[in-house]
Chain A
Amino acid sequence: MIIVTSSPDVDTTLTLCCHVHSGSDKLVLQFVTRFCQRLKSYIENARIHIPTVKGMKNIKAISRMLIVGIIIVIIVVAGVVGYYLTIPTTPAMKDTLVMGTTDSIETCLDTARAYDFFGLAIVGSLSSGLVDYKPGATGSVDDIIPALATSWASSADGLQWTFTLRQGVMFDDDTEFNATHVKYSIDRGISINDPDGAFGGVGYGDLIENVTVVDKYTVRFYLRTPFSPFLSLMAFQVSFIVDPRYAPFDAVVEYDSSRTPRQNHAMGLGPYRLANWTRVAGRETEIRLEANTKYWNASGGLPETKNIIIKFYSDATNLASAIRSKQVDVAFRQLEAVDIQNMMTDDNLKVWAGTGAFIQYLCFQERYAPFNVTAIRQAVGAAINRTTIVQTVFLGQAQKLYSMIPIGMSGHTDAFLTLGDPNYTKTRELLAPLGYNETHKLAFTLWYESSGHYPQSEDLALALKSSIEGSNVITVSLGNADWASYKTKRRNAEMEAYIYGWYPDYVDPDDYIYPFIHSSGGGWLNTNYSNPEMDTLIEWARGNTSTATRNSLYTQIQSLMVTDSPIISLYQGSAFAVTDPKVKGVYLDITQVWRYWLVYIEQ
């Protein structure tokens, strides 16, 4: 509290009574003191130097000055008082966790359209699926745990899946969850078939023939074809349940700033409620999640943290500064490799490293020369030095990947290691019969994406070029294009060799094989690779429910991949989160699910 009294008498004394509360009071005190000193000096100067004739004018000036001064002081005092009165009551530390990210919700919070990592992570915290993956999952079917379904069974032919639902589960609007909601959610997504959404992207309609309500708490899925990763698909957030009261059957729930947060999403069975979702100019500035007291597992003590505040940073550098300066408790996606490396030795931070499901691979265009020849594709594959890629480009924060199926996932084998890493002798041996040697080198252009869609794209391309040219029988020139042009070039088959990347939809080897090398599923990649033997193996693997048989089939598929070399896997990214050391409950497993409901700050 600061009280200032002034009296413009002959001696122009200014009395200041202060009681200093804090640093900000000190600043105010300094300001007032300086102002008074200036005022006093002005008055004294005026009295000494100004001729008597102008005395009256100066007295007026002094009076004006005093009035202005008093007004300023009143404003300052009012400001300080107002400041103290409006200091918010700080919630208990454990109750609120602030997370920073460079991600954003690409479209909306509706399973009918959401198909981006961050958007689906929020969807996953606002709703629940029939099943879920346990924390630390490896992608095995044994890691699937009950969620809204307490048990399930499949028919012998794998065409029917029956789920028994949990009873007494309530939506956040007090509607009771039952089998009709499951049918509604799946039928709706297939019916809308949004071109941006996963129902179309993954092909739910091609897999699911019908969803039937057997009774109030039993629901049955009829599949068009046996599909062994079906449980994984049900654990994918896109299969989560929507609330029909907020999700119309024939329309996607899009963001609208004039609506309440509740009206802006289609969910309602998750550990959290959406308390705020602010978008400025199409990009998130804030998301607030509040614990949903009606969550089916609230009795299990979830969510651990009552309030989650998510703030959005424009780039990795700013996010790194934010976590270093403790502006946020958690920084997750995306941080630069060099920042993560530095943070690993910072005692004020904790770096969580986990298995990443993101992979990058090299595609060959088989429509025309030179990569319409299998030996040439194999020769290039044999000349790739993955150690350089992992150590130089990603500073050790990635893993060498010798298969399209990621490390840590059921069915993975180091198939491409048989080609070498690198094995330049093999490269030369494969190319020699085709007339390529040190004097007549094979030449091709390697394309990479240049607008930041993939991490360290240019560095990766340079490392690949250097590695392949190390064979001394191949010359690589680099081509690049921004993401939009890159995709157009891919569609038009304009690039002879190009680097691409993949995040999984559902956690199963099928999602790393079928969309790439099956002649139908991999059509979008446009490599023009087709092998009926491969197609048959893939179809068997996705239709078989026995883990052992599937693993055997995937071993054959990976072996055939090496023989045909239509695509060469390069590396598997690792997942990193950086937090305050007091933050606990972070699980970075191959499911890539950020489990907001398990993260908390230790008291």
Chain B
Amino acid sequence: MTLRAYVISRILLTIPMIFILLTMVFVVIRILPGDPVLAHFEKNVDPALVEEMRVKLGLDKPLWAQYFDYVFGVFRGDLGKSMYDYSPVAEQIFSAFPATLELAISSMIIAALVGIFLGVQASKRYNKPVDHTIRIFGIVTYAIPVFLLGMILQLVFGVGLRWLPVGLRMNPMLAAPQGLTIGALHFSTGLYTIDSLLEGNMFKFVESLRYLFLPSLTLGTVLSGVFIRLTRTNMFETMRLDFVTAARARGLRETTVTYRYALRNAFLPVLTMIGLQFAALLAGAVLTETTFSWPGLGTYVVDRINFRDYTAIQGAVVVFGILVSIVSLVVDLLYAYLDPRIRL
């Protein structure tokens, strides 16, 4: 199979996957107990008002009609209206997305850096105390609940040492960074680190980094366990290959041999894992965001579950699902590009 044929087949496979996801989310949400419209009201209300709300939310239609409305809506970018506050769900998710993206990117950077570095160190000292320590660290961080680690870090660095803030995205005394404004043009990413730079406000930039650090460290540390184990195993095998011996024989320094020669070869599966961990990252983000009051998609989902806001939960699950599908598609394609054996 050529690369092009592989790409096409992989994309075609993603489409039914998304359809199945949409259908499952639709069905699961509707078989949950509790009437979402009645749940909205505290006391008994006029049945006419309840009916009016059903019509407003499209719940008066038969299930199949609701399903088609919903699927076509998703393809138009319309995820319905919140049953809680009647706002468009797509707009709400869009407003929460930058916070989650910022957290995801910084966590992945920390996870990859910590994981790869410790994995390499463990493989270099195979079966030595350092290796054992790193392995234990890897297992503990992999197993520890993200909210527990978050709370420990909050207690140590926030409450105890008071070096870092325990929650939120920005210093309460400062307004959120607005991005770049030139005349009537306004450009903003929603990522506070980038927006503060665009605004040219270094103080806000440093503050946004301070507020970003603990949640990223929490999520990054939990995810780093996978990278430690993967890097360690791959590096251990790679370091025993002939080309590494040859590089050493040429008199190259050990650091050069390790990072420039061996790690480059051992890195491919790690790179793939970075993509595959994206789903875990989003799941972890839900709890990390709640622990650190980070106003992203995770906090949104938890809030909406509490309010039994069906359309919002449905929308968030669909967005998460589509994101994971896209990332796994990109990873598969990258992998196929880098390793021709996949296409066989």
Contact = CB atoms under 8 A, between A and B. Distances in A.
B183 interface: no
Given A201-B42, A325-B158, A482-B34, A313 B93 contact: no
Contacts of A532: none
B154 interface: yes
A79 B165 CA distance: 22
A107 to B, nearest CB: 7
A352 interface: no
B11 to A, nearest CB: 30
A125 interface: no
Interface in A88-118: 88, 90-91, 96, 98, 107, 115
A88 B166 contact: no
A438 interface: no
A66 interface: no
A552 interface: no
A524 B43 contact: yes
Interface stretch (B118-126, B173-181, B231-239): B173-181
A321 B303 contact: no
A82 B306 CA distance: 43
Contact of A195 (B46, B201, B293): B46
A452 interface: yes
Given A98-B173, A327-B168, A488-B38, A524 B44 contact: yes
Contact of B167 (A201, A286, A322): A322
A283 interface: yes
A451 interface: yes
Interface residues of A, number: 58
Contact of A321 (B159, B176, B205): B159
A289 to B, nearest CB: 13
Interface in B277-310: 289-297, 299-300, 302-304, 306, 308
A482 B304 CA distance: 13
Interface stretch (B13-21, B79-87, B258-266, B330-338): B79-87
A24 B209 CA distance: 14
Most buried by B among A85, A90, A257, A482: A482
B159 A85 contact: no
Contacts of B175: 276
B124 to A, nearest CB: 21
Which size bracket describes the interface of B in this complex?
A: 35 or more
Given A82-B202, A87-B203, A491-B44, A281 B95 contact: yes
Interface string A287-321: 00000000000000000000001011111011001
A120 to B, nearest CB: 14
Given A283-B303, A485-B33, A318 B201 contact: no
Contacts of A309: 172-173
A91 B173 CA distance: 9
Given A201-B43, A282-B85, A327-B165, A312 B202 contact: no
B290 A282 contact: no
A300 B53 CA distance: 46
B299 A283 contact: yes
B41 interface: yes
Contacts of A82: 200-203
A369 interface: no
A335 to B, nearest CB: 14
Given A281-B92, A324-B159, A484 B36 contact: yes
Interface in A68-92: 79-80, 82-83, 85-88, 90-91
B300 A282 contact: yes
A156 interface: no
Given A82-B202, A318-B292, A321-B167, A484 B34 contact: yes
A231 B173 CA distance: 39
Interface string B169-199: 1001111100000000000000000000000
A108 B88 CA distance: 16
Given A88-B203, A317-B151, A491-B44, A107 B85 contact: yes
A45 to B, nearest CB: 9
B162 A280 contact: no
Interface string B58-90: 000000000000000000000000101101000
Interface string B95-108: 11001000000000
A314 B308 contact: no
Nearest to A321: B166
A152 interface: no
B96 A280 contact: yes
B203 A318 contact: no
A54 to B, nearest CB: 13
A117 to B, nearest CB: 13
A196 interface: yes
B302 A328 contact: no
B33 to A, nearest CB: 5
Contact of A83 (B39, B151, B206): B206
B215 to A, nearest CB: 11
B308 A195 contact: no
B49 to A, nearest CB: 5
A43 B308 CA distance: 64
A262 to B, nearest CB: 17
A388 interface: no
Most buried by A among B167, B299, B300, B308: B167
Given A281-B92, A452-B306, 7 more contacts: A82-B200, A196-B41, A280-B99, A313-B167, A325-B166, A328-B172, A487-B42
27 contacts: A82-B200, A82-B203, A83-B206, A195-B41, A195-B46, A196-B40, A201-B42, A278-B176, A280-B96, A281-B295, A282-B300, A283-B300, A283-B303, A285-B169, A314-B293, A314-B299, A314-B302, A318-B166, A321-B151, A321-B166, A322-B293, A325-B165, A481-B33, A481-B34, A482-B308, A485-B39, A524-B43
The 7 closest A-B pairs by CB, nearest first: A484-B39, A82-B202, A281-B96, A484-B34, A484-B308, A524-B43, A485-B34
Interface of A: 24, 79-80, 82-83, 85-88, 90-91, 96, 98, 107, 115, 195-196, 200-201, 255, 257, 276, 278-283, 285-286, 309, 311-315, 317-318, 321-322, 324-328, 451-452, 481-485, 487-488, 491, 523-524, 526
